[in-house]
């Protein structure tokens, strides 16, 4: 029996790319169906992450016209990771496996056959890994690759150059559903689930149209602690203050040294002033880091819902 595969695609203000994404995926699914790679119950599941443009109208229209398409509308914008989780959890009871990918066609859809083939060979998780990062700017490439290295050094098990293009079997999804964290970082969680896994290598394309929803600031905060919670911000301010004061202490240090050599100080003053500045800055920095962890505990303890589904448009049309 061919597996029922759900293609889960989070979309935030993607009206510029959706028509193309939908038509290319439809074509792809038709051909996979012809090759008997996927079953007739397979679906493309677009998750509208509280878009402000016409994204949802488009999804609803495709859902009426195209038997492959289903849509979930979130009640508000919850960010890529939460939107993805919502899509995967919606697909879980309905599918044999789900493949997550971006709406902007950056993830090569021609690699989809290989994902499904590996699944049929018995893999529960298949990671999409980029061959090269030529389409990214030098800055994005360097920071992203640096990030993977830092994560590895810190002992976090992440797959190098793998974003969120991946296949998960039903039981892997059930495993995922047991992870209840609010600070969601899926590529950190998935390797923890276990089961047999494999890799599919692909070339990452340029964003097809529209703008990246991950500007530098968003990327940094994603890298630092997954999804930021509004209540953690004051704590972050403390560590920023610490950095600022540490930097200022260098000037304080210069000033103290110059005064010393100019002979306008009492002895011992220099050492005291330098250590006050340096240690004060360092203490605030450390306090900020500790505060960051407390902030995370705070949001985890509250365990607020990670997403709320407003509408789910299923598709029962015959394919």
Q: Does 200 bind ligand UDP (CB under 6 A)?
A: no
Cβ-contact 13, 55 below 8 angstroms:
yes
Quote the CA–CA distance of 107 and 163 in Å, as a whole number. 9
Antiparallel, parallel or unpaired: β 43-48 and 309-313: unpaired
Q: Which residues contact 269 (CB under 8 A, 6 or more apart)?
A: 256, 259, 260
Cβ-contact 71, 84 below 8 angstroms:
no
E strand spans, 104-219:
125-130, 162-169, 197-202
Quote the CA–CA distance of 166 and 99 in Å, as a whole number. 5
Contact residue for Mg ion among 49, 96, 104, 124 (CB under 5 A):
104
Span near ligand UDP by CB under 6 A; candidates 110-118, 207-215, 255-263, 273-281: 207-215
Q: Does 7 bind ligand UDP (CB under 6 A)?
A: no
Q: Does 77 bind ligand UDP (CB under 6 A)?
A: yes
- 49 makes contact, choosing from ligand UDP, Mg ion, none, with CB < 5 to 8 Å by partner type, with ligand UDP
Q: Judged by CB, which is closer to ligand UDP: 277, or 307?
A: 307
Contact residue for ligand UDP among 160, 214, 251, 261 (CB under 6 A):
214
Q: Which residues contact 35 (CB under 8 A, 6 or more apart)?
A: 113
User: Among residues 244, 121, 168, 177, which one has the least CA distance to residue 5?
Assistant: 168
Site size toward ligand UDP, by CB under 6 A: 17
Q: Does 22 bind ligand UDP (CB under 6 A)?
A: no
Q: Judged by CB, which is closer to ligand UDP: 139, or 251?
A: 139
Q: Does 108 bind ligand UDP (CB under 6 A)?
A: no
CB of 14 to ligand UDP, least distance (A): 5
What is the biggest distance separating any 2 CA atoms in the chain, rounded to whole angstroms? 90
Contact residue for Mg ion among 13, 82, 106, 246 (CB under 5 A):
106
Span near Mg ion by CB under 5 A; candidates 97-105, 117-125, 143-151, 232-240: 97-105
Helix then strand count (H, E) for the chain reads 10, 8
- 92 makes contact, choosing from Mg ion, ligand UDP, none, with CB < 5 to 8 Å by partner type, with none
Q: Which residues pair with 169 in a beta bridge?
A: 97
Contact letters for Mg ion, residues 195-234 (x by CB under 5 A)? ------------x---------------------------
Span near ligand UDP by CB under 6 A; candidates 38-46, 212-220, 248-256, 271-279: 212-220
Q: Is the dihedral of CA 163, 166, 172, 178 positive or negative?
A: positive
Binding site for ligand UDP (CB under 6 A): 10-12, 14, 49, 77, 79-80, 83, 102-104, 106, 207, 212-214
Binding site for Mg ion (CB under 5 A): 102, 104, 106, 207
């Amino acid at each position: 029996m061919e597996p029922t595969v759900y293609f889960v695609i989070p979309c935030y203000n993607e009206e510029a790319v959706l028509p193309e994404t939908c038509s290319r995926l439809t074509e792809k699914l038709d051909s996979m169906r012809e090759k008997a790679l996927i079953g007739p119950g397979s679906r493309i599941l677009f998750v509208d992450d509280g878009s402000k443009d016409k994204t949802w109208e488009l999804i609803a229209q495709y859902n009426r016209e195209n038997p492959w398409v289903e849509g979930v509308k979130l009640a508000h914008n919850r960010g890529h990771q939460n939107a993805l989780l919502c899509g995967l959890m919606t697909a879980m009871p309905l599918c044999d496996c789900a493949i997550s990918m971006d709406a902007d066609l950056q993830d090569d859809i021609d690699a989809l056959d290989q994902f499904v083939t590996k699944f049929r060979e018995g893999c529960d998780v298949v990671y999409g890994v980029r061959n090269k990062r030529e389409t990214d700017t030098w800055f994005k490439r360097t920071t992203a690759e640096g990030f993977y290295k830092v994560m590895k050094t810190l002992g976090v098990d992440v797959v190098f150059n793998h974003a969120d293009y991946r296949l998960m079997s039903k039981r892997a999804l059930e495993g995922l559903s047991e992870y209840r964290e609010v600070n969601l970082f899926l590529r950190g969680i998935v390797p923890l689930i276990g089961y047999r896994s494999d890799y599919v290598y692909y070339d990452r394309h340029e964003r097809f149209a529209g703008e990246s929803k991950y500007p530098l600031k968003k990327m940094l905060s994603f890298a630092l602690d997954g999804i930021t919670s509004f209540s953690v911000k004051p704590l972050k301010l403390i560590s920023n203050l610490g950095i600022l004061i540490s930097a200022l202490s260098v000037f304080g240090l210069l000033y103290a040294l110059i005064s010393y050599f100019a002979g306008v100080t009492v002895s011992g003053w220099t050492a005291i002033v330098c250590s006050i500045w340096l240690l004060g800055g360092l203490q605030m920095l450390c306090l900020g880091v500790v505060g960051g962890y407390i902030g995370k505990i705070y949001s985890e303890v509250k365990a607020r819902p990670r997403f709320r589904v407003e509408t789910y448009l299923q598709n029962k049309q015959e394919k």
